[in-house]
């Protein structure tokens, strides 16, 4: 019996030690400055800004871009003196469950304002948490309407997810991208017959497709082929490409992230199909993909709010700093995150704010400022951006075309 008790004691000790170790480390981590992104001169008397994003895994390019972009903004702000910021990003591997843990880790750290999650699905989960805790949430790139809440489902005319009043977006919502793309194709007369390939197990892709399809119908754009793929079938597109080709589509709309789009471009090229390609902001990043022959992306059009080749002074400064620090050309996600940090700074710089303000008080101030009529922000991804109670940003997309391996603005 003694032996049993001994075994029982050992087992308990193990469980307890494990849980205690976990507990200790996350709380002690909270006290020390974050390894991933606190600026060297921060003295602790800084507003703590957190964010989650996929820093590892398949979508890592977005998370890291947003993290780097936000870091540049924080460094610039801290160099101004005055109000100081401290940034920490946690990895969520593009998984809502892990994103909530990442969010809770940031909460334990003492986060006062939240840059949300970089991708949509995790952001739906973290925005609900941030709403419950009343922490200000401004996401650079999570574009689903479920993130904001309060948007009517067009099929039922009911608001299924109530508006989360402290959640704001820096990017376009998905329906806006879809209808803006349809409008752009229609206005510029880019194609007679349009094919769409979209990813039907993805919130982002289906959201854009649905609004594109309804807008296209309204404008009388002829959609001759609409084919789908999923995560598991995102390597072979021969069926979808053949369908678009057989139906004589002269423009193919690709509302998806760039990895899948690059496969489509490669496979279409191998069967000699050369329609006009049209993408959305997820296409941004295709030129920096390892091992991708950028000549295949020649002539691809996409709608994105950010142009790294712009002559604009702020943009060129940002791009050169980014290149210097991280080695490549920033994409739209980096610019959005940069704008997020700066807009939060602009919203609170004129007010007397102590660095130890509670997250809830800061949230009230920021909501009031962001929704007030006289607040607007000029950044890399748009001029005179404003927000209203719905949380969506109002700014206009820029059309881009890839020429000689770089993005060139369309007018």
Partner 1 sequence: MKRLIIRKKARKNFITYGVVILSYIVLMAVIGAGSMPSALQGLLVPMCAYIVAALSLNLTVGVLGELSLGHAGFMSVGAFSGATAAMALADSGLPSWGRMILALIVGAVLAAAAGVIVGVPVLRLQGDYLAIVTLAFGEIIKTVVTNLYIGKNPSGLRFGFLNPDIGLGKGGMMLVNGPNGISGIQKISTLTSGFVIIIICLIIIFNLVDSRTGRAIMALRDNRIAAESVGINATKYKLMAFVISAAMAGAAGALYALSQNTVTANKFDFNTSILILVFVVLGGLGNMLGSIVAATVLYILPETWLRQFSDYRMLIYAVVLILMMLVTNSQKVRTLIGKLLPRKKASGKEGAADA
Applying CB under 8 A, the residues found at the interface with partner 1 are 2-4, 6-8, 11-12, 14-16, 18-19, 21-23, 25-27, 29-30, 35-36, 55-56, 90-91, 95-98, 100-101, 104-105, 107-108, 121, 124-125, 128-129, 144, 146, 153, 155-158, 160-161, 200-203, 206-207, 210, 230-232
Q: Which long-range contacts (CB under 8 A, 24 or more apart) does 394-399 make?
A: 395/172, 395/305, 397/172, 397/177, 397/180, 397/184, 397/303, 397/304, 397/305, 398/303, 398/304, 398/305, 398/306, 398/307, 399/184, 399/188, 399/301, 399/302, 399/303
Cα 279 from Cα 286, distance rounded (Å): 11
CA 317 to chain centre: 22
Q: Evaluate whether 120 touches 201 at the Cβ level (below 8 Å).
A: no
- For the bound state, the minimum distance from the C-beta of residue 124 to partner 1, rounded and expressed in Å, comes to 5
- For the bound state, the minimum distance from the C-beta of residue 260 to partner 1, rounded and expressed in Å, comes to 14
Dihedral of alpha carbons 389, 88, 351, 378, sign:
negative
- For the bound state, the minimum distance from the C-beta of residue 186 to partner 1, rounded and expressed in Å, comes to 24
**Residue (210 or 376) nearer to partner 1, CB:** 210
Look-up: residue for tokens 């507990």?
A: 23
Cα 214 from Cα 216, distance rounded (Å): 5
- For the bound state, the minimum distance from the C-beta of residue 348 to partner 1, rounded and expressed in Å, comes to 25
- For the bound state, the minimum distance from the C-beta of residue 108 to partner 1, rounded and expressed in Å, comes to 4
- For the bound state, the minimum distance from the C-beta of residue 139 to partner 1, rounded and expressed in Å, comes to 15
Query: How long is the chain?
Result: 411
- For the bound state, the minimum distance from the C-beta of residue 261 to partner 1, rounded and expressed in Å, comes to 18
**Residue (36 or 316) nearer to partner 1, CB:** 36
**Residue (125 or 300) nearer to partner 1, CB:** 125
| Nearby residues of 163 by Cβ (< 8 Å), 6 or more positions away | 148, 149, 150, 389, 390, 391
Cα 301 from Cα 332, distance rounded (Å): 15
**Residue (90 or 339) nearer to partner 1, CB:** 90
- For the bound state, the minimum distance from the C-beta of residue 173 to partner 1, rounded and expressed in Å, comes to 14
In the DSSP assignment, the letter for residue 255 is -
Give which of 158, 14, 28 is closest to 105, Cα–Cα.
Answer: 28
In the DSSP assignment, the letter for residue 330 is -
b/e map of 253-271 (b: 16 or more CB within 10 Å)?
bbbbbbbbbbbbbebbeee
**Residue (22 or 45) nearer to partner 1, CB:** 22
**Residue (287 or 359) nearer to partner 1, CB:** 359
- For the bound state, the minimum distance from the C-beta of residue 115 to partner 1, rounded and expressed in Å, comes to 17
**Residue (25 or 360) nearer to partner 1, CB:** 25
Residue 187 to residues 60, 219, 221, 244: CA-CA distances in angstroms?
35, 10, 11, 22
**Residue (55 or 286) nearer to partner 1, CB:** 55
**Residue (3 or 189) nearer to partner 1, CB:** 3
């Amino acid at each position: 019996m003694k032996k049993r008790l001994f075994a029982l004691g050992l087992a308990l000790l193990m469980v307890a030690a494990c849980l205690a170790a976990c507990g200790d480390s996350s709380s002690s981590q909270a006290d020390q400055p974050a390894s991933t992104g606190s600026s060297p001169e921060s003295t602790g008397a800084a507003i703590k800004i957190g964010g989650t994003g996929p820093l590892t895994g398949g979508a890592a390019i977005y998370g890291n871009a947003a993290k780097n972009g936000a870091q540049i903004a924080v460094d610039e702000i801290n160099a101004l003196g005055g109000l100081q910021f401290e940034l920490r990003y946690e990895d969520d591997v593009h998984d809502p469950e892990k994103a909530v843990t990442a969010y809770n880790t940031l909460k334990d750290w003492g986060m006062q304002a939240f840059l949300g999650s970089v991708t949509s699905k995790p952001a739906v989960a973290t925005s609900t948490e941030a709403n419950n805790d009343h922490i200000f949430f401004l996401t650079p790139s999570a574009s689903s309407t479920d993130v904001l809440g309060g948007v009517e489902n067009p099929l039922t005319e009911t608001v299924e997810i109530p508006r989360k009043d402290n959640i704001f977006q820096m990017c376009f919502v998905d329906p806006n991208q879809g209808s803006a793309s349809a409008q752009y194709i229609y206005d510029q007369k880019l194609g007679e017959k349009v094919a769409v390939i979209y990813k039907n197990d993805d919130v982002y892709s289906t959201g854009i497709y649905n609004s594109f399809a309804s807008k296209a119908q309204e404008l009388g754009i002829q959609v001759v082929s609409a084919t789908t793929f999923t995560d598991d079938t995102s390597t072979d597109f021969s069926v979808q490409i053949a369908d678009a080709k057989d139906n004589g589509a002269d423009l193919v709309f690709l509302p998806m992230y760039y990895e899948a789009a690059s496969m489509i471009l490669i496979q279409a090229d191998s069967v000699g199909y050369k329609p006009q390609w049209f993408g959305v902001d997820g296409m941004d990043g295709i030129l920096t993909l390892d091992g991708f022959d950028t000549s295949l992306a020649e002539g691809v059009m996409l709608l994105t709010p950010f142009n790294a080749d712009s002559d604009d002074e702020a943009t060129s400064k940002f791009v050169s700093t980014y290149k210097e620090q991280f080695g490549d050309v920033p994409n739209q996600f980096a610019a959005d995150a940069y704008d997020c940090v700066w807009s939060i700074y602009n919203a609170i710089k004129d007010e007397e704010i102590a660095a130890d303000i509670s997250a809830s008080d800061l949230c009230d101030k920021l909501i009031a400022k962001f929704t007030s009529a006289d607040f607007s922000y000029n950044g890399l991804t748009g001029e005179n951006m404003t927000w209203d109670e719905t949380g969506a940003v109002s700014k206009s997309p820029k059309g881009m075309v890839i020429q000689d391996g770089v993005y060139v603005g369309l007018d």
